[in-house]
């Protein structure tokens, strides 16, 4: 294998000092004559420098930096160590990094089992993994393989007889390559970080096996829902134009087109392509694997305006434009684009905290920042249930009446800023029950509730759900979710409601084994009802779940009724100017949180609320994750009284703490205090 790699990539590897001057001179002459950077003459050392430290940009400055780094690498590492790094880290297509992984991916074999012909096929991949992929492009892969075989003979790595046998050998490439786990690259990186922290460099060499809590069905469902939801959002806001434009000659070759496309990162099924010809009815484009495709009809609809002169020339699709295309289930291609907006999605088992699905962003290769664990964002109204839970703890009931009306705020109570809070729709409902206020996400009611229970009490209370009080200053803005949370924190917080009031810690590693299967470490999770701490009254969790069920049935998350289930609950969230869109929701055995926003905060758009942008992702996931799951029928906890009530919409049943059922509904104070005693002190806060 080593000889095949040297023959294909750098036959003078053991002779040069990191740079092949003959190759550099040849490439320089070609580049000067063409006024473009087309040839690189990169040695294996230079490729290591590029892969570990540099971008794939093609420019003279990047090439210069690559050469400098190559010299430094040669000075500090042995030739064998450099080759080892290359051997184990180079990308070879089909998500295979390194030749050992590629041998399994394409042939289902270990390296020592490969024939010369198979080795030559793999050795031909580094130059253009997509173009020479034997699965997607067998003809070009065969041509490249034969080139490597000839080079191996030229430099006497094999005999004439071996060359002829290798050329004649019929390869059995796995037509359906090794089935990869669903897109879980963010999870894989989390695992890598934990393993390195625990085992240092041994994590990469000792053959550890790490088993996670992530479930493939759940992860697949989350990935599909996230991609669909983000692209639907992107389509609502229009096509921006090509990613770039390159000059291509009339007699351009496939290899030259492939070289240009190698600079462009893949993004799942959003495939980069170079436009060869274009008119308002049809676009012809070249893909990385060498295929030429035709796009027409509905496939042009998204970018139709950019095929005309009605747009800025920089945004027009022309010959040489680099665009993204996507194939539908029927095999038809359509123009699409890489979204600029980001996302996070996480699903947790509320019974023990096991993470079942985690998507840290739209595409790991483009942005490896994990928005589930690292993005601190304002939760908006999705934080209100924690404030309402504190109010229930203080004696409020679902039928407590609070005035939804304009409120004058003393600047001193919000940190010295001028603030005139409003409801999202700009209207006011007047006296409204606590249940209906959360269902309709009434901001003014949330503020009045927080005034009544005090921000200081709420700040302490939310620690029961795992939130750090330092990130939630004790001001009235806390009522509207002005603090900072991560999506993973929100999942942990909502798990408390789902499991009946127990605090469980989300985790993702089930166990670690050595190469022989011996268990080195195993997580012992906190389990609700067993060893997990009870942090809120189970009656509180039951009543809050009942209220949040109304959010799904008839409130801001009513779209979720398309799932046809009666055991769902949750809360939407939208921050000021639509910078963040949230939906956090649950079924008894599954909590999921969806977030959407820009890394550099800016508005998602006037209509892009949590119910519009984040909720559809949650629905898409839950529809698959809960398939076949029986509908959960909750049992009313001891100490909760169910009372029929007459309302303007007919008779309803609501739930009360046994000791609070006679509470003055207009004040929400506990039964041990006479309403007359406290009426004057809280009247102004509630009304």
The pLDDT tens digits for 545-559 are: 999 999 999 999 999
Q: How far apart are CA 200 and CA 12, in angstroms?
A: 34
Lowest mean per-residue pLDDT among 14-28, 97-111, 569-583: 14-28
By the 8 A CB rule, do 520 and 207 touch?
no
Task: Give the residue numbers marked as catalytic.
Answer: 9, 381
**Residue 403 contacts residue 686 (beta carbons within 8 Å):** yes
266 within 8 A of 93, measured Cβ to Cβ: no
Rg of the Cα atoms in the chain: 30
**Residue 371 and residue 487 in contact, taking contact as beta carbons nearer than 8 Å:** yes
Q: Would you state the pLDDT for residue 48?
A: 86
Above 70 in pLDDT, residue 593? yes
Cα distance between residue 71 and residue 666, in whole Å: 77
- Percent of the chain exceeding pLDDT 70 equals 90
For residues 501 and 532, give the distance between their C-alpha atoms in angstroms, rounded to a whole number.
10
Residue 371 pLDDT > 90: yes
Q: pLDDT category, 408, cuts 50, 70, 90?
A: confident
192-199 average pLDDT score = 94
Cα(first)–Cα(last) distance of the chain, in Å?
A: 79
In this structure, are residues 308 and 300 in contact, taking their beta carbons and an 8 Å threshold? no
- Domains of the chain, CATH where assigned: 2-168 (1.10.3810.10), 240-336 (2.40.50.140), 344-492+526-679 (3.40.710.10)
pLDDT given for residue 680 in this prediction: 42
Distance CA 442, CA 122 (A): 61
Separation of alpha carbons 106 and 98, rounded Å: 12
Instruction: For residue 148, give the H/E element and its range.
Output: helix 138-154
The secondary structure element, H or E, covering residue 30 is helix 21-34
- What pLDDT band is residue 414 in, cutting at 50, 70 and 90? low
Residue appearing with tokens 């020592």: 112
| Helix (H/G/I), strand (E/B), else coil: 175 | coil
Of 265 and 567, which is predicted with more confidence? 567
In order of 35, 315, 337, the CA distances from 311 in angstroms are: 29, 6, 17
Would you state the structure tokens that stand for residue 216, as one six-digit string?
Answer: 């493939």
Mean pLDDT of the chain: 90
Q: Flag whether pLDDT at 671 surpasses 70.
A: no
pLDDT at position 95 over 60: yes
Q: Check residue 37 and give its pLDDT.
A: 43
Predicted pLDDT of residue 675: 35
What pLDDT shows up at residue 681? 43
Residue 650 is predicted with a pLDDT of 84
Q: How many CA atoms lie within 13 A of 561 on its CB side?
A: 11
| pLDDT, mean of residues 554-581 | 98
Distance of CA 386 to the CA centre of its chain: 25
Per the structure block, which two tokens stand in for 96? Answer: 């295979």
Binning pLDDT at 50, 70 and 90, where does residue 460 land? very high
Rounded to 10°, the helix 116-123/2-9 angle is 40
Residues 669 and 317: their CA atoms lie apart, in Å, by 65
Distances in Å between the alpha carbon of 371 and those of 3, 104, 280, 504, 599? Answer: 43, 32, 39, 21, 9
């Amino acid at each position: 294998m080593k000889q095949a790699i040297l023959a294909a990539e750098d036959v003078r590897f053991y002779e040069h000092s990191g740079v092949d001057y003959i190759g550099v001179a040849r490439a320089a002459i070609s580049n000067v004559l063409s006024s473009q950077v087309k040839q690189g003459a990169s040695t294996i050392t230079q490729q290591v420098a590029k892969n570990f430290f540099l971008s794939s940009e093609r420019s003279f400055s990047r090439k210069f930096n690559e050469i400098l780094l190559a010299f430094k690498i040669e000075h500090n590492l042995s030739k064998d160590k450099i080759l080892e790094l290359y051997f184990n880290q180079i990308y070879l297509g089909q998500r295979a990094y390194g030749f050992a992984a590629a041998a399994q991916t394409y042939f289902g074999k270990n390296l020592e089992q490969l024939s010369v012909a198979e080795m030559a096929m793999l050795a031909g991949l580094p130059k253009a993994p997509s173009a020479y992929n034997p699965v997607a492009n067998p003809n070009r892969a065969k041509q490249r393989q034969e080139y490597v075989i000839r080079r191996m003979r030229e430099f006497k790595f094999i005999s004439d007889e071996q060359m002829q046998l290798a050329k004649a050998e019929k390869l059995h490439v796995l037509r359906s390559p090794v089935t990869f786990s669903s897109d879980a690259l963010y999870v894989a990186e989390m695992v890598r970080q934990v393993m390195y922290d625990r085992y240092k460099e041994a994590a990469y060499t000792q053959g550890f096996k790490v088993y996670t809590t992530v479930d493939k069905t759940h992860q697949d469902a989350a990935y599909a829902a996230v991609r669909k939801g983000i692209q639907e959002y992107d389509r609502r806001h229009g096509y921006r134009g090509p990613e770039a434009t390159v000059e291509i000659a009339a007699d351009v070759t496939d290899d030259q087109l492939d070289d240009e496309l190698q600079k462009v990162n893949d993004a799942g099924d959003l495939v980069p392509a170079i436009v060869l010809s274009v008119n308002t009815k049809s676009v012809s484009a070249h893909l990385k694997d060498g295929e030429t495709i035709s796009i027409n009809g509905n496939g042009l609809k998204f970018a139709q305006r950019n095929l005309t002169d009605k747009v800025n020339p920089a945004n027009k699709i022309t010959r040489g434009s680099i665009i993204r295309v996507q194939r539908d289930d029927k095999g038809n291609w359509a123009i699409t684009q890489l979204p600029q907006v980001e996302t996070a999605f996480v699903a947790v088992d509320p019974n023990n905290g096991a993470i079942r699905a985690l998507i840290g962003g739209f595409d790991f290769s483009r942005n490896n920042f994990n928005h589930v664990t690292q993005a601190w964002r304002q939760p908006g109204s999705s934080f209100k249930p924690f404030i309402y839970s504190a109010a229930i703890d203080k004696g409020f009931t679902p039928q407590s009446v609070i005035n939804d009306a304009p409120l004058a705020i003393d600047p001193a109570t919000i940190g010295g800023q001028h603030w005139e809070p409003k409801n999202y729709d700009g209207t006011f409902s007047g006296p409204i029950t606590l249940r209906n206020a959360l269902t309709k996400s009434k901001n003014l009611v949330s503020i009045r509730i927080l005034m009544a229970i005090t921000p200081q009490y709420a700040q302490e209370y939310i620690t029961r759900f795992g939130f750090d009080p330092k990130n939630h200053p004790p001001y009235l803005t806390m009522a509207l979710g002005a603090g900072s949370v991560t999506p993973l924190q929100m999942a942990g917080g909502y798990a408390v409601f789902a499991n009946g009031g127990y605090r469980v810690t989300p985790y993702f590693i089930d166990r670690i084994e050595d190469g022989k299967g011996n268990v080195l470490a195993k997580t012992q999770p906190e389990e609700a009802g067993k060893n997990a701490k009870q942090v809120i009254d189970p009656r509180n969790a039951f009543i809050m779940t009942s209220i949040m069920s109304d959010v799904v049935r008839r409130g801001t998350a009513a779209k979720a009724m398309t799932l046809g289930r009666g055991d769902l609950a949750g809360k939407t969230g939208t921050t000021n100017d639509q910078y963040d869109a949230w939906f956090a929701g649950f079924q008894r055995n599954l909590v999921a949180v969806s977030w959407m926003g820009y890394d550099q905060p800016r508005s998602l758009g006037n209509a892009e609320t949590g119910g519009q942008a984040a909720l559809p992702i949650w629905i898409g996931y839950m529809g698959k994750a809960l398939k076949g799951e029986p509908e959960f029928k909750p049992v009313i906890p001891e100490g909760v009284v169910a009372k029929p009530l007459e309302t303007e919409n007919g008779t309803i049943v609501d739930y009360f703490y046994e000791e609070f059922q006679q509470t003055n509904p207009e004040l929400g104070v506990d039964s041990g205090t006479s309403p007359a005693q406290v009426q004057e002190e809280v009247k102004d806060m509630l009304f």
